[in-house]
Structure formats: structure tokens, C-alpha cells
Amino acid sequence: MQIIFLQDVRGKGNKNEIKDVPDGYARNFLFPHKLAEQATPASLEKLEKMKEFILVEKKMQTETLKKSLEKISGLELVIKTKADEKGHLFSAIRAKDIAEKLKKDHQAEIGEEFIVLEKPIKTVGEQVVAIKVGDHQSSLKLLVEK
């Protein structure tokens, strides 16, 4: 029986994947648990429309991220935080903190998953932070002050 997975099923298939499975497995396990539905012409058409919508949405999101990337390219971002006399921060600065600061100060919608940090920043000073969106890359100067 040909089915469309509605959710990821470990070892069997991923969401929105079309696969042939034994009839009993589909009727007795996948359908009752709402993990899959039978692949009818109507459901296949619905799946294709959903895939097109997701593709368009992803393209729009990438364009928005590119614009934000251009906006912050070469920017100097200042983050003030608490540190001891030696310049060691009490709380490390992570990608999430940088993303929040960019959103707050510069209205740049850059997710933390696009900010490349080898390790959290734990000292006062200037750092260069890379931002990578797909095949586009940019950097900004991060100035950590106490």
C-alpha cells in the first residue's frame, strides 16, 4: 500500500515522504496513530501544493535574511555586561545574545543558528563574529565592554 507519512517514523520514513508499506502495518499501526495517510490522487495533489508553498516560503525567508545580512555587514555591535577586574565575563556571550542584540538595536532578524561562534565569548574586548546564511557570509565587529 502506498502511503504519505504525516510525521517522522523512526526507521520507516520521514514527514511528507511517499512510500510503499505492508497493508497490515499501515492499517493497524500507522493510520490509527495518525502517522500516515493513504496516498490517493487528492492527497498527492495536496502534498505537492504544500511542498510548493514551503519552497516559496523558504525562498522568501532566504531573501529576508540576505537583506538583514547586507544591513549588518561591517557593523560594530557593542554589548555591555558584567566582568571582573581581569576582564573575564561573569556570564558568557552566546549566539543567542548576539541575535537578540541585533534584533533590538538594528531590527535585523538574524537567527542564532546563522551566527558562527567557535565557543562562547568569555572575555572583554573586540571579536569578529561571522554570520553565514546559506552560501552568503558576512562578519561584524563585536565589542564587549564592562
Q: Express each pLDDT in 18-51 by its tens digit.
A: 999 999 999 999 999 999 999 999 999 999 999 9
Q: How far is CA 122 from CA 67, 90, 96, 132, 144, in A?
A: 30, 8, 14, 22, 9
Q: Report the alpha-carbon angle 62-7-47, nearest 5.
A: 65
For the segment 40-87, what is each residue's pLDDT rounded down to a tens digit?
999 999 999 999 999 999 889 888 888 888 888 888 999 999 999 999
Residues 2-65, CATH architecture: 3-Layer(aba) Sandwich (3.40)
CA–chain centroid gap for 80, Å, is: 27
What pLDDT score was predicted for residue 135?
81
Structural domain boundaries of the chain? 2-65, 70-145
**How far is it, in rounded angstroms, from Cα 67 to Cα 4?**
36
Q: The domain 70-145 belongs to what CATH superfamily?
A: Ribosomal protein L9, C-terminal domain (3.10.430.100)
pTM greater than 0.85 (yes/no):
no
| Cβ neighbours of 59 (radius 10 Å) | 10
Q: What share of the chain is helix, strand, coil (3-state, %, to 5)?
A: 40, 35, 30
Residue 26: its pLDDT value, please? 95
